[in-house]
Amino acid sequence: MKKEALRNILPIGSVVTLQKGRKKLMIIGRIQEDQYTNTLYEYAAVLYPEGVLNASELYMFQGEDIDRIYHVGLQEEEEFAFRSFMEQKLQDMNLLE
């Protein structure tokens, strides 16, 4: 993951649509690894406004896949502290470019 992408990562609760999608998605996780492919994704989301209907309906994607941002989630001191924590963890794992 690029350091610039991490600095601009959307917070939990943000609502977006993807370039190849029609439904809105609400971000519920960041820096997620697909357990089957071991691919690292920037975001995990659920359908909005439906939320979790089935545990297997989790959408994982990269920031570059986002077409439109409808809402940006809460950004305050805890969010910014967590971003610093994520950056340090990714550096420790040699996953930050």
The answer to whether residues 3 and 59 touch, using CB atoms and an 8 Å cutoff, is no
List the chain domain ranges: 11-73
Residue 2 has pLDDT above 80, yes or no: no
According to the model, what pLDDT value does residue 11 have? 96
Residue found by looking up tokens 């350091």 in the block: 3
Give me the pLDDT at residue 86, please.
Answer: 87
Q: How does 73-93 read in b/e, with b if 16+ C-beta sit within 10 Å? A: eeeeeeeeeebeebbeebeee
Half-sphere exposure of 65 (CA within 13 A, CB side): 17
- In terms of Cβ atoms closer than 10 Å to its own Cβ (0-12, 13-18, 19+), residue 10 is buried
Predicted pLDDT at 68:
98
